[in-house]
Chain A
Amino acid sequence: MLRPRTDRTGQGRLLRLTLSSLLLLILLPLASCRQESRVERATREKILLLGNGAEPKALDPHLVSSVGDANILRALFEGLVINHPESDTLHEPGVAERWEPNADFSEWRFFLRTNAKWSNGDPVTAHDFTYAYHRILHPEMAAPYASMLYFLKNAEAFNRGEIKDFAEVGVKAVGDHELVCTLDNPAPFFPDVVKHTTWLPVHRGTIEKFGKMTDNYTEWQKPGNHVGNGPFQLAEWRINAHVKARPNPHYWDAANVKLKGIDFYPIESPFTEEKAFRNGLIHLSYSMPESLIESYRKQENSPLRIETYNGSYFYRCNVTQSPTDNADFRRALAWAIDREVIVKYVTRGGQTPAYAFTPPSEEGYHPPQVVGYDLEKARDYLKKAGYTSGKDVPEFVIIINTLEAHKNIAMAIQDMWKKNLGIEKVRIENQEWKVYQQTVLDMRYDVARAGWIGDYVDPQTFLGMWVTKDSNNNTGWSNADYDRLLRESSRLSDPAARLAKLAEAEAVLLDGMPVLPLYWYTRVYLLHPDVRNWHPLLLDNHPYKHIGLVPSEKGGPQ
């Protein structure tokens, strides 16, 4: 008798609970019928809601490599020099108040401010930097981006394990507030380099509280444990959901930080991001579907932003096998591509047609004009390569990683080569991302799609990879003159002479044509009008402490 009754009441309660929660489900969204959108509320609370592409790989500056990771690290840490909100070539003092090079730019002294603090209140000293550089360069750490520190004397040898004593590496703390970097070669652009996330300091006490210096997997990155020295500190981290940064009360310049927090959302699909933006869920998107660019362009007060980005889209040619081993043949291919058509009708994101590999920069690097679109020349080169007509060219393959955009570009180029040169046997082959990378690495390709994003604003980050046997070369191309010019440029301390030398090297590269430059990247994204002081930047590294949120007058998106 007892059992059925308890059963029934239990069922009743369950039923009531289900019903009421169902009702709640239906009513909740209706009841909260959005007088204020999430973005509006966040603006009022001064929390920046940011679409950030993919889930961060890590929040340890020594383990990451992607742009999205760096976006978060810039909130949680502060390097010696930080990005200027309006220009890529200007510098803002970070932990270093000022810095000075020696006469030939091969030794840099950074003078650290005395009031810089970690988020736990500890002072930031020069030793924190030497500790961080020791850690990232330590062979056992196997930090994927350690090579960014190879500027320092003996850094590469230490990273390879050829030198055991870190004292031999070119970085020294002089007292608590002076850091001296001794470089292998003059680098007038060194302050640009140290803005990169690989040069951030880490807090020794925190790292060693949770493991050895070189442990990759410890709990120190987790909220509650994480200690940084940036304007914000880590508050929450849910995988694939969000990373939340809240003000670091100990930050030396806390009075000038305008935001009360940043929420990073790892939304991978650009379509979802665009909808989230339209729905008032984020202030800023990471990217934007190409197919919607046109309709956003037509809007009044459009939130669409199209800005030049420090990257180059190109095709690699394998110079070790026929038919792409013939330089004249590669030149013919390069001269027969109408890049204007590609950016105008295929990519449609405001990209700049590239007639050189390195994007031009405001600091005064002008890539040489060697390539162009000229069918007469293209056909001449094809003849020089030994083909009377394009029909005689043996079959070759363009390898792309699977993505609609890459396929469309490849198809356009295939068509141009056919129409302009009569080359009929060009195949396009899709490969999954990692398979494609392995294929390129093993050089089992004829022509392969590629992209390169510069780590800092200097042609060195683009041209360095084409040196003989560089691990990113992967074309088999090798030119003694090129190698020599690059070596010579690295010894020049006069910035203008250095850039001229690099341009000379690039001319050699473009004459040899192991790469077919196609276009220079743009970043296409959506920006809410409430966001203040967000200026176009070539590297897209925005210093968050300058960013503000102010409710805009009506007439934003929607």
Chain B
Amino acid sequence: METARFLLSRFAQSLFALLCIVTITFFLARLAPGGPFLDEKKIPEHLVEQMKRNYGFDKPLPVQYATYLGRLARGDLGPSLGNKGFTVNEVIAEGFPVSFMLGICGLVIALAIGIPAGVFAAAKRNTIVDYALMALAMIGICLPTFVIAPLLGEIFALELGWFDVALWQNSSAWILGSVTLGLYYSAYIARLTRGSMLDVLSQDFIRTAKAKGVPPLAVLFKHAFRGGITPVVAFLGPALAGLIGGSFVVETVFGLPGLGQHFIKAATNRDYWLINGTVTVFAVLILVMNFLVDVLQAWLDPRTRAAR
């Protein structure tokens, strides 16, 4: 009963947040100067007028907004103005699997590197190992993806020839893309894990366990790990959403046809429906992820469960 009410209220909150995001995006996109029909070679005025009529941009904004919401409720995101001949649904459906694969693999890499590094650093607190690991993580955070990505390409594709440097079909470039994303996030995760592991390790029940003679490794993994990992789990939601939607740089550097490029291109092309569509999908992604993370966290930490 409690759980059902909790889920329902979270769902209602998410829906409201989504409506706000959709509305703000719709009007913000229209406020931007220029428009989708502006080109370096000017399109004659009478044709621009006709194009506006064809797309319904001649109607008052509130009317357009209402029709848009109606369409959105039916899951129709409209035509893309920049990719003529494709609907926004099609554009997103083509880009999403690419971004999803990049994101998931990136996340796996991030966790596989970040968590052990963080745990290890916490266990060897204030030793050279700790400092070295955290220095590496700091470098990882400071080095932007647009530096790491070309570097990886230059080394592992062009020098060593292990991967392809670009393209999607029959190409291994996406692995380098995932690694770039993974490395970047692994640095965050390492620092996060270290911090929370230190918190947990300084608590009484750990001291008790140690006093009782539980071997150090067992203390670390059996007693401390579950508590220490909670903030990382909380971070997973936004991280995965960010990995899937925010891989613009990686997509550009490795020429991958993911969603990230559409975010930027839609905005520069003033492709109104694609702007709204990508933002909506991204918003839904974040909301769903956060929701899942809440549930997962409750499962990991009995206290949060009880508090509700």
Q: Which A residues lie at the B interface, using CB under 8 A?
A: 25, 28-30, 33-34, 38, 55, 57-60, 63, 65, 139-140, 142-144, 146-147, 159-161, 216-218, 221-222, 238-242, 265, 267-269, 271-273, 275-276, 278-279, 281, 432-435, 437-439, 441, 451, 471-472, 474
By the criterion CB–CB under 8 Å, are B172 and A139 in contact?
Answer: no
Among B78-86, B189-197, B199-207, B281-289, which stretch is in contact with chain A?
B78-86
- What residues of A have a CB within 8 angstroms of the CB of B86 in the complex? 239
Q: Which residue of A lies closest to B78 (CB)?
A: A217
B166 touches A275 (CB 8 A): yes
Inter-chain contact B161/A34, CB cutoff 8 Å = yes
- On chain A, the residues within 8 Å of B84 by CB distance are 57-58, 60, 63, 216-217
Set B38, B44, B162, B167: member contacting A30, Cβ < 8 A: B162
The answer to whether A238 touches B166 (Cβ under 8 A) is no
Whether B167 lies near A265 (C-beta < 8 A) is: yes
CA distance A434 to B82 in the complex (A): 13
B112 closest partner in A (C-beta) = A22
Bound: A143/B158 CA distance, A: 43
Shortest C-beta distance, B301 to chain A (Å), equals 23
A438 touching B166, Cβ below 8 Å? no
Which residues does chain A contribute within 8 Å of B154, judged by CB atoms? 275
For B255, the chain A residues whose CB sits under 8 A away are 265, 267, 269, 272, 276
Q: Please give me the residue from chain A that is nearest to B85 by CB atom.
A: A221
Please, which residues of chain A bring their CB within 8 A of the CB of B46?
139, 159-161
Q: Is the CB of B253 within 8 A of A269?
A: yes
Contact of B116 with A by CB under 8 A: no
Q: Tell me the minimal C-beta distance from A27 to chain B in angstroms.
A: 10
Give the complex CA separation of A216 and B50 in angstroms.
12
Return chain B residues, CB-CB under 8 Å to A239: 83, 86, 90-91, 94-95, 257
| Distance to closest chain A CB from B47 (angstroms) | 5
A469 → chain B closest CB, angstroms: 11
Which residues of A sit under 8 angstroms from B34, Cβ to Cβ? 433-435, 437-438
Instruction: Check A441 against B38 for contact (C-beta < 8 Å).
Output: yes
Q: Could you tell me if B252 and A434 are in contact, using CB atoms closer than 8 angstroms?
A: no
Contact residues in A for B42 (Cβ distance below 8 Å): 441, 471-472, 474
Q: Which of B139-166 contact A (CB under 8 A)?
A: 150, 153-154, 157-158, 161-166
Residue of A nearest to B42 (CB): A471
Say whether A33 contacts B254, CB under 8 Å. no
Taken together as a complex, chains A and B put the C-alpha atoms of A240 and B37 apart, in Å, by 21
B177 to chain A, nearest CB (A): 12
Q: Are A434 and B50 in contact (CB under 8 A)?
A: no
Which A residues touch B48, using CB under 8 A? 142
Instruction: Determine which of A28, A146, A240, A433 lies in contact with B47 in the assembled complex, contact meaning CB atoms within 8 Å.
Output: A146
Count chain B residues whose beta carbon lies closer than 8 angstroms to a beta carbon of A.
58
Cβ of B50 and Cβ of A238 under 8 Å apart?
no
Please name all residues of chain B whose beta carbon is closer than 8 Å to the beta carbon of A218 when the two chains form the complex: 85
- Output the least CB separation between A70 and chain B (Å): 13
Q: Chain A: which residue is nearest B41 at the CB level?
A: A472
CA distance A441 to B48 in the complex (A): 14
Contacts of B35 in A (CB 8 A): 434, 438
Indicate whether B261 reaches chain A with its CB closer than 8 angstroms: yes
- Judge whether A240 and B257 touch: CB under 8 Å: yes
Residues of B within 8 A of A25 (CB): 175
On whether the beta carbons of A438 and B157 are closer than 8 Å, the reply is no
Shortest beta-carbon distance from A306 to chain B in Å? 23
B255 shortest CB reach to chain A, Å: 5
Which residues B70-90 have CB closer than 8 A to chain A? 79, 82-87, 90
Q: Is B40 in the interface zone, CB < 8 Å from A? A: yes
New A-B pairs, 10, CB < 8 Å, besides A60-B84, A276-B167, A434-B268:
A60-B85, A139-B46, A160-B46, A240-B261, A268-B261, A275-B157, A434-B35, A437-B34, A451-B40, A472-B41
Q: Are A281 and B47 in contact (CB under 8 A)?
A: no
Q: 10 nearest interchain CB pairs?
A: A434-B34, A240-B257, A142-B50, A58-B84, A241-B257, A279-B165, A471-B42, A276-B166, A221-B85, A438-B34
Bound Cα distance from A281 to B169, whole angstroms: 11
Q: Is the CB of B41 within 8 A of A65?
A: yes
The answer to whether A272 touches B268, judged by C-beta atoms less than 8 angstroms apart, is: no
In the bound complex, CA of A242 to CA of B170 (Å): 12
A279 to B161, CA, bound (A): 8
- Chain B residues positioned under 8 Å from A33 (CB to CB): 161
* Assembly CA distance A160 to B49 (angstroms): 11
Q: Is the CB of B157 within 8 A of A437?
A: no
Known: A57-B83, A272-B166, A279-B164. A434 touches B32 (CB 8 A): yes
On whether the beta carbons of A281 and B171 are closer than 8 Å, the reply is: yes
A-B contacts, 30 of them at CB < 8 A, read A29-B163, A30-B162, A33-B161, A63-B84, A65-B39, A142-B48, A143-B47, A144-B43, A144-B51, A146-B44, A160-B46, A238-B94, A238-B169, A239-B86, A239-B95, A265-B255, A269-B252, A272-B255, A275-B150, A275-B157, A276-B167, A278-B158, A281-B165, A434-B34, A434-B38, A434-B270, A435-B32, A437-B38, A438-B38, A441-B42
- Cβ of B302 within 8 Å of any chain A Cβ, yes or no, is no
Interface pair A144/B47, CB less than 8 Å apart: yes
CB-contact partner of A275 in B37, B158, B258, B270, under 8 A:
B158
Task: Contact check, B85 vs A142: say whether CB atoms are below 8 A apart.
Answer: no
Contact present for A55 and B43 (CB under 8 Å): no
B100 interfacial by beta-carbon distance below 8 Å: no
Most buried by B among A217, A221, A433, A439: A217
Contacting residues, chain B, for A437 (C-beta < 8 A): 34, 38-40
Q: Is B45 positioned at the interface, with any CB of A under 8 Å from its CB? A: yes
A531 to B35, CA, bound (A): 40
Q: A142-B50, A434-B34 are in contact. Are A276 and B165 (CB under 8 A)?
A: yes
- Give complex CA distance A60, B85 in Å: 9
**A28, A279, A474: which contacts B166 (Cβ < 8 A)?**
A279
Task: Give Cα A278 to B166, complex, Å.
Answer: 11
Docked complex Cα distance between A58 and B81 (Å): 10
B225 at the interface (CB under 8 A from A): no
**Smallest CB gap from A226: residue in B:** B85
Q: Are B83 and A281 in contact (CB under 8 A)?
A: no
Within 8 A of A (CB), among B7-54: 32-35, 37-48, 50-51, 54
Query: Does B168 have its Cβ within 8 Å of any Cβ on chain A?
Result: yes
Q: Is the CB of B95 within 8 A of A275?
A: no
